[in-house]
Structures are given as structure tokens and as C-alpha cells.
Amino acid sequence: MTTMQDNRPATLLKGGQIVDGAGVPGWTGDVLLVGERIASVALPGQTPPQMLADLRATNGVEEVDCTGMVIAPGFIDVHTHDDAAAIEKPDMLPKLSQGVTTVIVGNCGISLAPVVTDAPLAPLSLLGREQFLHSTMRAYADAVNAARPGVNVAALLGHTALRMRHVAALDRAADEGERAAMAADMQEAMDAGALGLSSGVFYKEAYAADLDELVAVASVAARNGGVYATHIRDELAGILPALQEAALTARQSGLPLVISHHKCAGPDNWGRTRETLPLIEQLARGQEIGMDVYPYTAGSTVLREDLVDGIIDVLITGSETHPEMGGRYLADIAAEWRVSQQEAAVRLKPGNACYFQMREDDVQRVITHPLSMIGSDGLPHDERPHPRLWGAFPRVLASYWREKGLLRLEEAIHKMTGMSAARFRIGERGLLKASYMADVVVFDPLRVKDGATFEQPRQFSEGIERVWVNGALSYTASDRATGARAGRFVMRASSPTASG
């Protein structure tokens, strides 16, 4: 997309605590935004005077007193399922209101492109039903730009989506012809600026995929400078071999790996981040590996009786057969119906649920690990979404930095900005740096806090004061969305046509 020149006044953010996204401690200073870019990051009063004089003489300079506030790069939500939401609900308030300025869609093997259908099957139906209209990544990118979402959108191509399009029988691995068809779609997506490939071999629709199939597609992403993000095959008892498989797939394909929403799920598995994190560290000595994490002990996905063990709490977030059960616990429903929890789950399907399958010490070990970055994994189409959709980023700041003191502020911000842009090859974002795109958040470090809960999942966060996307003031704490909707489809830094 070409640079849009405009005659808006410049914006000078004055006297805030600058935490620039690189992971270094904050310092007091001023940030100048001109058009869609950051023009200067300077000590207080040290913004180049000639630059300010020229701006004052032309479009003017609006000053924003940021005393007591943190000025940071806009947050990058590396793990989202906002593919359709960015088009259907383009204000993107659940994300913008957290200070998020870029979302990465297409995670867990699930992407809109290149599937065209009016009856998407699970797990693609996590993206809703209306937007499976894009047979190429290019068409999806055009649809995003036409929708003018409130935040930027960068995209992974989903392996499960490719299987649904090209593999005749999902209970087996792709044959040679099917692999070639999937690889051709992968090339198209990379040409259109996709970040790389995602997979969700955890889901039964992709479970039969073998190493040959995954490498055939992933190596196309590798040749084009992409990344590989995966929801591994098993986050329960078989987590160690599943991590090994993910690392092997990335290594054989020649791709950097991102392990999605790293967790040790299920009571038998609690505490095992003491094993998984050392394994990830060991693997990361031989290849590039990162991971994402959300700050909650509950996960959320489609309703599946095999994830119901009768021990953990399961909160029904939506049911097509019994919509009235949304917001209730499976144990209570099962008792009322006088059936087992598994049987109740079968009766409630298709639906979605939150599974309280993690333990806090594991979550803390992953969040504080130097290889982790923050991704919400929010599900925007659920009637009663997991609160991570509206609250993940402020919750990390409130709970893991300010209250528990487990992260330094600059570390927490780095995991939401600079590290995220570097791992996913997003150029000119994720840092407060002159010439970078002006994606910026100003927040109150004493007040920032998530508002969303499992009972009240659609609540604004507190303390997110102002958010700029591509230089446009897009959110304020007092007026919420400004209507600017200045987001766009963001191409990976190495793509042939990337600009801005």
C-alpha cells in the first residue's frame, strides 16, 4: 500500500516514560508522530527544533502531556483468530481497547484463505460461517484493506484450511498430488505477503498429516522467508514427543518455529513445564524457536468430549443444540440431566467451551520465560468468549508485572512488541524508533488492568489512555473507538511487494 500523505497536525507526546519495545529499561522523553510514521524519539525538550518549527508552520503540532504515563509501541497480538472479525466487525474494539495495534491471524492451522464454502466444518468454524469467500491470500488481503479494520492484520496460512481444500480424505496424509496443490497455495500466500504457515495437528482434521506433508508445504514458506507456528499434536501426556515433532518439522523445512499457546494441560500434566521448557531451550540451541502464551489457567476451543475428564471445570461458552446452556458449567448441566459429563458434552455439540486445564505455576513459568511472547488466542465469534479476547494484554501488565512482580515492565512490553515483530518478520513495527510506523499506545502504569472475566467477558480494560494506528488516533479511554479505522493488511518484511 502506498504511503498516504495527509494534512493532519503532527502529534508530540511529551514527558512520558518511554518503553521502546527493545527490552531495555524505560526513560523519560518525547515522541513525535508525523503522518503515519514516528518522526523522533528524544529526551524531554530535545525533539529537533527545526523539525518542530517546520511542522508548526504547516499543519501544526498537537501536544499531549504524558506525565506519569508509559509510551510504548502498539502491542502485537501474535496469536489470534480474528481473520473474519477484522472484516465483519472492523472496529476491532476488543483488541484496540487493550492497546493492540496489529493482530496475527491464521493461527492453529485455521485460516479463511483459501477456503470458499458456506458451510465450514470444525475447526474452521471457529472463524464464524460468513467469510469463507477468499480463494487466495491476495483476495483475503484485499478484503481486509477494503474493510479498513481498526488494527493492522498480518496473516499466516492455515495447514488445516489447505487440507480441507485439497485432501480428499482427512483421515489420511496427503498424497503427492495433494501435497503439490497445497504447496502451490502456500506459494501464492507468500507472494501476497503472508508471514508463513500455521498448523493445528492437534485437531482431528489435521491429525493424520505426516512429516512429508507438513514439510512439503512448510518448505515453500521457508524458501520465501516465512515462519512456522504450530498448535502441537498433544499438550497432555504426549507433550514431549509433540514438541520434538514440531521442532523436527521446522528444522527439516528450514523455518523458524513458534510453539502456539504453550501449556501443560490436564491435572496429570501439571508442573511439567519443568520438563517442557528445558526441552525447548535445548532445541532452541540448534534452531530458532519462540512460543506464545496467554495469561490464564483456562484454555478455550471447540467442545470435545475427549477433553472432558470429569476433574477439571468446563465452562460452556456456546452450544448450537442448547444455546440456553451458554455460561454454565458442564458438571452442573450433567447433574441436571443425570448423565456423565462426557455424555452432556456430546449432547451440547457443536459448541465451544473454556477448559480450566492449566495450573498457575506453569502459566507463570511460561510467561516469564525469555522465549515467550504474548498472544491472546481470543475467539471473537463465541457468544460468551473466554476473557482473553478482551483482556489478555492489560492482564499481563496488571497481574504479572505490577501485582506479582514476575516481569520487569520493559520485559513485559518486549514480549508484546519488539520480540513479536522480530519473530514473525514484521518490519518497521514493534519498536519506538524514528522512521518506524506510528503504532503507539499510551497507558497509565498504575491503573492498567483487564476488566473482562469469565462471568463478564466483554469488558473494557482500564488505563489504556490512547492508541494510534499508522499515525491515526484510533482509541481513547474517554471516547473509545475514534472511528479512524486506520489498520491495513501488513506484509512480512521480506515479501516481494512489502512497503510501509
In angstroms, what is the minimal distance from the CB of 480 to Zn ion?
A: 29
Contact between 348 and Zn ion per CB under 5 A: no
18 vs 265, beta carbon nearer Zn ion? 265
Q: Provide the residue type at 401 as one letter.
A: W
**End-to-end Cα spacing for the chain:** 7
Binding segment (CB under 5 A) for Zn ion, from list 66-74, 148-156, 225-233, 485-493: 225-233
What angle, 0 to 180 degrees and rounded to 10, lies between the N-to-C axes of helices 211-223 and 239-253? 50
Q: Cα–Cα distance between 12 and 39 in angstroms, integer? A: 10
Binding segment (CB under 5 A) for Zn ion, from list 36-44, 85-93, 108-116, 354-362: 108-116
Q: Cα–Cα distance between 12 and 62 in angstroms, integer? A: 6
Tell me the C-alpha to C-alpha distance, in Å, between residue 156 and each of 130, 152, 228, 311, 376. Answer: 20, 14, 9, 35, 16
98 vs 160, beta carbon nearer Zn ion? 160
In angstroms, what is the minimal distance from the CB of 357 to Zn ion?
A: 13
In angstroms, what is the minimal distance from the CB of 289 to Zn ion?
A: 17
Taking residue 286's Cβ as centre, other Cβ atoms within 10 Å add up to: 9
Contact between 108 and Zn ion per CB under 5 A: yes
37 vs 381, beta carbon nearer Zn ion? 381
231 vs 349, beta carbon nearer Zn ion? 231
73 vs 109, beta carbon nearer Zn ion? 109
> What is residue 248's three-state secondary structure?
helix
In angstroms, what is the minimal distance from the CB of 55 to Zn ion?
A: 45
| Helix runs in 192-303, H state only | 204-207, 211-223, 239-253, 273-284
Total residues in contact with Zn ion, by rule CB under 5 A: 2
230 vs 461, beta carbon nearer Zn ion? 230
| 49 prior amide bond cis, ω within 30 | no
- Provide the edge-to-edge strand list for the sheet that holds 299-302: 299-302, 351-355, 314-319
Contact between 231 and Zn ion per CB under 5 A: yes
In angstroms, what is the minimal distance from the CB of 302 to Zn ion?
A: 11
In angstroms, what is the minimal distance from the CB of 301 to Zn ion?
A: 7
Which three cell numbers, joined as nine digits, stand for 51?
A: 523539525
HEC secondary structure over 93-147:
HHHHCCCEEEEEECHHHCCCCCCECCCCCCCHHHHCCCCCECCCHHHHHHHHHHH
Binding segment (CB under 5 A) for Zn ion, from list 100-108, 291-299, 350-358, 363-371: 100-108
245 vs 410, beta carbon nearer Zn ion? 245
In angstroms, what is the minimal distance from the CB of 200 to Zn ion?
A: 6
Contact between 110 and Zn ion per CB under 5 A: no
Q: Of 67, 76, 52, nearest to 439 (Cα)?
A: 76
Binding segment (CB under 5 A) for Zn ion, from list 5-13, 231-239, 283-291, 309-317: 231-239
In angstroms, what is the minimal distance from the CB of 231 to Zn ion?
A: 4
Binding residues for Zn ion, rule: CB under 5 A, are 108, 231
